[in-house]
């Protein structure tokens, strides 16, 4: 699909094309390793890496054009080079231009946890009926959002865009950039708490999502959050009146009537705008029930029917490193179950991951827990809050990765077997040998702890056992 032609792009970024050719671009990229043939590469100069050093690599990998800073000296050799004053600003301008001319409705999602899952649920539902576009991966910051919205297809009916933040005023910038028609706040939790004085400040920072909205915009909020009064007040301060709420309370626009866990399937019934809707989600994690309710409420405000919603949710599966389950063959002939939830961690998401293990098995699990990062002065207290939840899981063995987790191991090792490692690099070679037949293994920690190395090490270890091993994921019920 053609996203931009040479004239449109140059006008949007106020750039000068150093060739006389006309061309069309199908994508925008800031990474030459993943650039598509026919894409445009923006050479961003960062603190550690200067994209201008990879211009030739971009063309070799199929780039149709490259956007560079004016100060950068380069011979264009009839290649499509576009000069601009600042490539960062140019990328922003490109995103703003596409958003301004797009006729699509933009749904913005923020929250301490659950952003990506809600985005995926929404996409699963909406894309069943409409041309729908959602940001890739973790494109949710001051670079990722402009990059994402610059690639909104011209025929997109709906756009779903995550918005992350670490500090105040970041979401304000993103909201003004994207002008959301619908804003969703999934929850208020301790992610990035180290950059704030308390959770109330995080609630205010998340509420910055309202800045770019029109007065007739739709706002979807977690009705049972301790900070709901702050969220409602901030929304009303921006002149927003179309507020909808989800949760478990029967007063909410969407609330949970019942749920039943059947291994890796949860059967849910909700009341949505006065109607009952029953469906199944392919997950064992209970927090995905409210994530689903959030997506359903958003789609109902857009006029979708219960049948359209139900059919879409039934096929949704967990994403890599976000609670995905792997089943491995053990030499004893039994199975090993790996729950890979290594993408990120806060107290809220870690406690939910631990509590949800009982939906998979009543056996004693093996826990691999990495530090929860970006908590600053609150780190010790947030990690200590996990101690009773860890004990309740009655683990066979707990493997702690990192300084903060090692610290709380001192209060756990008198009750359970514990092993501590400073980093995943030190742990990945030893952990596979510690896995026993019928083990249920949870891998959970912040992305910066690199626990994905441990997941890969375990899978590769079992592959090398030469047991005619079929490494796969399964969606049907399977009792360990």
Strands 265-272, 65-69: pairing kind: unpaired
Q: Are 390 and 366 in contact (CB under 8 A)?
A: no
Q: Are 266 and 283 in contact (CB under 8 A)?
A: yes
Q: Are 313 and 279 in contact (CB under 8 A)?
A: yes
Q: Are 142 and 197 in contact (CB under 8 A)?
A: no
Q: Report d(CA 50, CA 447) in Å as an integer.
A: 24
> Architecture of domain 324-463 in CATH?
Alpha-Beta Complex (3.90)
Q: Report d(CA 256, CA 187) in Å as an integer.
A: 16
Which positions ≥6 away from 18 have C-beta within 8 Å?
76, 80, 81, 82, 83
Rg (CA), the chain: 24
Q: Phi first, then psi: what are they for 178, rounded to 5°?
A: -100, -20
Strands 4-5, 242-247: pairing kind: unpaired
Q: Are 356 and 284 in contact (CB under 8 A)?
A: yes
Class of the domain covering 4-89? alpha beta
Model pLDDT, residue 479: 26
HEC string of the chain equals CCCEEHHHHHHHHCCEECCCCCCEECEEECCCCCCCCCEEEECCECCCCEHHHHHHHHHHCCCCEEEEECCCCCCCCCCCEEEECCHHHHHHHHHHHHHHHCCCEEEEEECCCCHHHHHHHHHHHHCCCCCEEECCCCCCCCCHHHHHHCCCCCCCCEEEEECCCCCCCHHHHHHHHHCCCEEEECCCCCCCHHHCCCHHHHHHHHHHHHCCCCCCCEEEEECCCCCHHHHHHHHHHCCCCEEEEEECCCCCCEEEEEEEEECCEEEEEEEECCEEEEEEECCCCCHHHHHHHHHHHHHHHCCCCHHHHHHHHCCCCCCCCCCEEEEEECCCCCEEEEEEECCCCCHHHHHHHHHHHHHCCCCCCEEEEECCCCCHHHHHHHHHCCHHHHHHCCCCEEEEECHHHHHHHCCCCCCCEEEEECCHHHHCCCHHHHCCCCCEEEEECCHHHCCHHHHHHHHHHHHCCCCCCCCECCCCCCCC
Give bridge partners of residue 440 from the DSSP assignment. 337
Q: Report d(CA 297, CA 310) in Å as an integer.
A: 13
Which positions ≥6 away from 77 have C-beta within 8 Å?
none
- Residues 16-53 have pLDDT tens digits of 999 889 999 999 999 999 999 999 999 999 989 999 99
Q: Report d(CA 211, CA 246) in Å as an integer.
A: 22
- Residue 307, both tokens: 């049948």
Q: Are 149 and 173 in contact (CB under 8 A)?
A: no
The alpha carbon of 80 is separated from its chain's Cα centroid by a whole number of angstroms, namely 34
Please list the ranges in the chain whose pLDDT falls under 70: 76, 314-316, 466-480
Handedness of CA 428, 429, 434, 438 (dihedral sign): positive
- Residues 124-171 have pLDDT tens digits of 999 999 999 999 988 999 999 999 999 999 999 999 999 999 999 999
Domain ranges (residues) in the chain: 4-89, 102-313, 324-463
Model pLDDT, residue 75: 74
Q: Report d(CA 199, CA 213) in Å as an integer.
A: 24
**CATH tag for 102-313 (out of 3.40.50.2300, 1.10.10.2840, 3.40.1190.10, 3.40.30.10):** 3.40.1190.10
Q: Report d(CA 264, CA 284) in Å as an integer.
A: 5
Q: Are 332 and 415 in contact (CB under 8 A)?
A: no
Q: Is 47 exposed, middle or buried (0-12, 13-18, 19+ CB in 10 A)?
A: exposed
Q: Are 93 and 267 in contact (CB under 8 A)?
A: no
Share of the chain above pLDDT 70, in %: 96
Task: Tell the residue number behind the tokens 């973790």, with chain if given.
Answer: 138
Model pLDDT, residue 315: 64
Angle between helices 287-301 and 306-313 (to 10 degrees): 140
Cα–Cα distances in angstroms (integers) from residue 363 to residues 265, 395, 441, in the given order:
19, 8, 11
- Residues 223-277 have pLDDT tens digits of 999 999 999 999 999 999 999 999 999 999 999 999 999 988 999 999 999 999 9
């Amino acid at each position: 699909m053609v996203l931009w032609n040479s004239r449109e792009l140059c006008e949007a970024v106020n750039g000068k094309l150093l060739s006389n050719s006309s061309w069309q671009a199908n994508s925008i990229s800031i990474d030459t390793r993943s650039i598509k043939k026919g894409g445009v590469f923006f050479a961003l100069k960062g603190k550690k890496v200067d994209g201008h050093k990879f211009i030739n690599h971009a063309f070799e990998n199929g780039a149709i054009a490259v956007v560079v800073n004016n100060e950068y000296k380069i011979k264009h050799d009839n290649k499509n080079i576009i000069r601009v004053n600042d490539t960062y600003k140019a990328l922003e301008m490109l995103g703003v231009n596409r958003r301004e001319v797009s006729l699509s409705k933009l749904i913005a999602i923020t929250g301490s946890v659950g952003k990506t899952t809600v985005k995926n649920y929404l996409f699963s539902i909406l894309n069943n009926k409409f041309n729908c576009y959602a940001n890739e991966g973790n494109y949710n910051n001051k670079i990722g959002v402009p990059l994402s919205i610059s690639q909104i297809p011209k025929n997109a009916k709906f756009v779903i865009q995550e918005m992350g933040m670490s500090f105040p005023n970041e979401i304000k910038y993103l909201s003004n950039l994207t002008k959301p028609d619908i804003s969703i706040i999934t929850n208020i939790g301790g992610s990035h708490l180290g950059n704030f004085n308390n959770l109330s400040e995080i609630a205010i920072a998340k509420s910055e999502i309202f800045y770019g909205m029109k007065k007739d915009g739709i706002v979807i909020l977690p009705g049972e959050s301790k900070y709901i009064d702050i969220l409602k007040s901030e929304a009303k301060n921006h002149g927003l009146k179309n507020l909808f709420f989800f949760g478990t309370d029967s007063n909410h626009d969407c609330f949970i009537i019942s749920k039943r866990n059947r291994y890796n399937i949860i059967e849910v019934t909700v009341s949505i705008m006065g109607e009952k809707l029953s469906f199944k989600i392919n997950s064992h994690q209970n927090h995905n029930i409210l994530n689903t309710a959030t997506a359903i409420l958003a789609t109902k405000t857009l006029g979708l029917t219960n049948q359209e919603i139900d059919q879409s949710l039934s096929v949704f599966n967990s994403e890599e490193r976000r609670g995905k389950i792997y089943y491995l063959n053990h030499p004893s002939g039994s199975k090993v179950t790996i729950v890979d939830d290594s993408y990120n961690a806060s107290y809220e998401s870690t406690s939910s991951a631990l509590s949800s293990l009982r939906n998979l098995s009543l056996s004693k699990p093996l826990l691999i827990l990495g530090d929860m990062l970006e908590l600053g002065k609150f780190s010790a207290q947030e990690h200590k809050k996990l101690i009773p939840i860890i004990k309740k899981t009655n683990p066979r063995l707990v493997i702690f990765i990192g300084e903060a987790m090692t610290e709380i191991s001192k209060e756990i090792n008198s009750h359970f077997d514990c092993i501590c490692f400073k980093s995943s690099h030190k742990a990945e070679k030893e952990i596979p040998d510690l896995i026993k037949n019928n083990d249920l293994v949870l891998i959970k920690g912040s992305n910066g702890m690199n626990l994905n190395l441990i997941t890969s090490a375990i899978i590769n270890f079992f592959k090398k056992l030469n047991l005619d091993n079929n490494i796969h994921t399964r969606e049907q019920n399977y009792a360990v």
